[in-house]
Amino acid sequence: MSFRGLSRPNAISGMGVADESKTTFLELQRKKTHRYVVFKIDESKKEVVVEKTGNPTESYDDFLASLPDNDCRYAVYDFDFVTSENCQKSKIFFFSWSPSTSPVRAKVLYSTSKDQLSKELQGIHYEIQATDPTEVDLEVLRERAN
């Protein structure tokens, strides 16, 4: 029996959520100190950690550029928009990014860990599961938010 497999996290059980991940989300939600937060799974720590934050002046294109082409990620984006009644609004979107070119192990790991993360991040308005850039087009957010 090989002991190499014992140190690897079990993809079926999911991951914990780092305190920093929760705190950073609250900063986005309450203080508006971030436009977006990208999270990744740190398998050595067996938890979801912050990979990158975007400052409030960054664009949606900046956010999309922070998502890897060939690997999975979670992200939250604070979407500001104006309603048809000319009211300024903000909605928080949760993204489960799983490109079709991602390794199968990553897809399983991110899929099984998503529920735990979304439970910890209270105050998400909409969830988007995406496998390619067309599913995260800015127009998709506009349609969902209105």
pLDDT tens column, 82-119 = 988 999 999 999 999 999 999 999 999 999 999 999 99
Residue ranges per structural domain of the chain: 16-145
**Confidence tier at 14 by pLDDT (50, 70, 90):** low
**pLDDT 10s digits, 38-88:** 999 999 999 999 999 999 999 999 999 999 999 999 999 999 999 889 999
The SS3 assignment for 63 reads helix
Record the pTM.
0.89
CATH number of 16-145: 3.40.20.10
Tokens of 68: 């890897």
